[in-house]
Amino acid sequence: MSQPIIELRHVTQRYGDHTILKNINLTLESGKFYTLLGPSGCGKTTILRTISGFNQVTAGDVLFDGQRINDVPANHRNVNTVFQDYALFPHLTVAENVAFGLTLKKLPKADIATKVAEALKLVQLADFGNRAISALSGGQQQRVAIARAIVMQPQVLLLDEPLSALDAKLRRAMQSELRDLQQRLGITFLFVTHDQEEALAMSDEIFVMNNGEILQSGSPVDIYDEPINHFVADFIGESNILPGKMVADYQVAFNGQQFECSDAGIPANEPVEVVMRPEDLTLTTPAHAKLTVTIDTQLFRGDYYEISATDDRGHDWMIHSVNPAEDGATLGVNFRPQDLHVMRLHEKEAEFDARLETYEGTEESSRDQT
Ligand SMILES: Nc1ncnc2c1ncn2[C@@H]1O[C@H](COP(=O)(O)OP(=O)(O)OP(=O)(O)O)[C@@H](O)[C@H]1O
């Protein structure tokens, strides 16, 4: 691994009695697209503020290019932020907005003009320099906010839910544009969203957060296929999650039967949760199936039917099928061993305890140094 551009080591943030960030460890490499994904209030913006320098951490270290920057003020960090509400100056033109940071730096006017023109070209607003902000669409304002950040040539760009004000179609278009822009600029993006589809589509690596903790990090495919616990499996995509018990490596029991699965290393007899994605399940006749369900309802989603069903033990199932099924019908469900993923029941708690121990040790040692 090359030298990380940003590292958070055992970062904890407390406000009064509330611990907002709990022992956060995070590493960002140069030139990659990262996403912080989690529900409202889980601490995503607080992580951005920690990196940009608007928050003083309660404990832990923030590193930029290997150097500790805890005490470096925000305006001396080579990091820029694009905010959710864009925070543009309504009384300035597009070009004046983009030029703002460079003007503060007192760069020569000709240099500013060249850099502003380049940034506007990158966000496809080359001819919009003289426009008033009020004469732009939401998507165009969003691009001005990005141009204003990238004109400063930061090594890291932080984006705090920058697409949330856009309608669904424009949002999708901007997802591709942002991803494309990040690759052309070759700088590190740290993008915040609570939209799991957006995170899966855009990122090289996702950090899934809940309650001030990073629960899992990995590529979109890893996180989707191998969620570490119930929260991640439930938050990312749709999941069928059932209680089960490990029988042996690659063998799990649930619903009173034994099935081949994709996981090894969990001891026999350990209680687990079994995860299956609705699109990995196929409906067939009961005689040829691993399980039998009764169809409850279905919703037409355009390219598939979202089918709700119940098995003979009363568990609810969600199945995506290209063909409709008849309400009330008894049908069989099939799946492949590789589509059956097993999670340890208490993964999160066990991991957290282990991390907390490391963190408590670190907090003491950093106190010793001061
Ligand atoms: N300055 C502060 N003082 C006290 N509490 C704060 C402060 N800043 C944030 N919080 C609390 O910290 C928690 C995390 O907030 P944060 O803005 O980081 O969450 P978020 O994941 O970005 O949420 P959202 O998606 O809604 O923006 C919230 O409960 C918030 O109320």
- Report residue 201: phi and psi, to 5°: -75, -35
Look up residue 158 and give its two tokens.
């932080």
Q: What is the pLDDT of residue 365?
A: 42
Nearest in space to 75 (alpha carbons), one of 55, 95, 54, 92 = 54
pLDDT, tens digit (0-9, with 9 covering 90-100), for 36-67: 999 999 999 999 999 999 999 999 999 999 99
Per-residue confidence (pLDDT) for residue 362, from 0 to 100: 44
Protein residue with its CA nearest to atom 3 in ligand 1: 15
Report the relative pairing of strands 330-334 and 341-344 from DSSP bridges. unpaired
More confident residue, 173 or 207: 207
**CB of 43 sitting under 6 A from ligand 1:** yes
Q: Compute the distance between CA of residue 86 and CA of residue 145 in angstroms, rounded to an integer.
A: 5
CB-ligand 1 contact for 320 (6 Å cutoff) = no
Q: What is the mean pLDDT of residues 253-261?
A: 92
ipTM of the complex: 0.95
CA angle 107, 111, 115 (to 5 degrees): 110
Residues 142, 86 contacting (CB under 8 angstroms): yes
Nearest CA to ligand 1 atom 13: 41
Token pair in block for residue 259: 């099935």
Mean pLDDT confidence for 75-92: 89
Residue 84: pLDDT band by 50, 70, 90 thresholds? confident
- Ligand 1 centroid–CA 41 distance in Å is 5
Q: 232 CB under 6 A from ligand 1?
A: no
| Per-residue pLDDT band at 224 (split at 50, 70, 90) | very high
CA 353 to chain centre: 23
Per DSSP, 132 falls in state: B
- Which distant-in-sequence residues (6+ apart) come within 8 Å of 73 by Cβ? 53
**Taking a C-beta distance cutoff of 8 angstroms, is the pair 215, 231 a contact?**
yes
- What single letter denotes the amino acid at residue 292? T
Contact 195, 238 (CB under 8 A): no
Examine the pLDDT at 351 and tell me if it is beyond 60.
Answer: no
Measure 65 CA to ligand 1 centroid, in angstroms. 27
pLDDT class for 363, splitting at 50, 70, 90? Answer: very low
The number of helix segments (H) and strand segments (E) in the chain equals 9, 20
| Dihedral class, residue 87 (left if φ above 0, else alpha if ψ from -120 to 50, else beta) | left
Task: Quickly state the pLDDT bin for 157 (edges 50, 70, 90).
Answer: very high
Q: What is the pTM of this model?
A: 0.86
Q: What is the C-alpha separation between 342 and 348, in angstroms, rounded?
A: 14
What tokens appear for 16 in the block?
């009064």
Residue 190 CB neighbour total at 10 angstroms: 27
| Rounded Cα–Cα distance for residues 319 and 295 (Å) | 10
* Mean per-residue pLDDT over the chain, rounded: 90
% of residues, the chain, pLDDT over 70: 93
Q: Cβ contacts of residue 244 below 8 Å, gap of 6+?
A: 252, 253, 254, 271, 272, 273, 274, 342
Q: Residue 346: what pLDDT?
A: 64
With a 6 Å cutoff on the Cβ, whether 41 touches ligand 1 is yes
Residue with the nearest Cα to atom 29 of ligand 1? 41
Distance separating the N- and C-terminal Cα atoms of the chain:
31
The reply to whether ligand 1 has any atom less than 6 angstroms from the CB of 55 is no
pLDDT at 115 over 90: yes
Average pLDDT over residues 25-30: 96
35 lines ligand 1 (CB under 6 A): no
Q: Is residue 214 exposed (0-12), middle (13-18) or buried (19+ Cβ within 10 Å)? A: buried
pLDDT value of residue 368: 42
Q: Are the CB atoms for 97 and 131 separated by under 8 Å?
A: no
DSSP 8-state assignment for residue 331: E
User: 309: CA distance to ligand 1 center in Å?
Assistant: 38
Q: Which range, 136-140, 187-191, 312-316, is most confident?
A: 187-191
Phi, psi angles (nearest 5°) of residue 81: -120, 140
Is residue 239 pLDDT above 70, yes or no?
A: yes
d(C-alpha 180, C-alpha 199), whole Å: 15
Of 105-119, 162-176, 210-224, minimum mean pLDDT range: 162-176
Question: 296 — phi, psi (to 5°)?
Answer: -95, -60
Give the number of other CB atoms < 10 A from CB of residue 241: 16
The pair of three-digit structure tokens given for residue 312, joined into one six-digit string: 């003979």
Count the neighbouring beta carbons within 10 Å of the beta carbon of residue 10.
20
Say yes or no: CB of residue 47 within 6 Å of ligand 1.
no
Which amino acid residue places its CA nearest to atom 20 of ligand 1? 41
Task: Pick the residue whose CA is nearest to atom 10 on ligand 1.
Answer: 20
Distance separating alpha carbons of residues 175 and 299, to the nearest angstrom = 27
Structural domains of the chain ordered from first start? 6-225 (3.40.50.300), 237-277+339-370 (no CATH), 282-334 (2.40.50.140)
Res 361 pLDDT > 80: no
- For ligand 1, atom 24, name the residue with the nearest CA: 40
| pLDDT at 122 > cutoff 90 | no
Separation CA 204–CA 262 (nearest Å) = 24
State the pLDDT confidence band at 347, using cuts at 50, 70 and 90: low
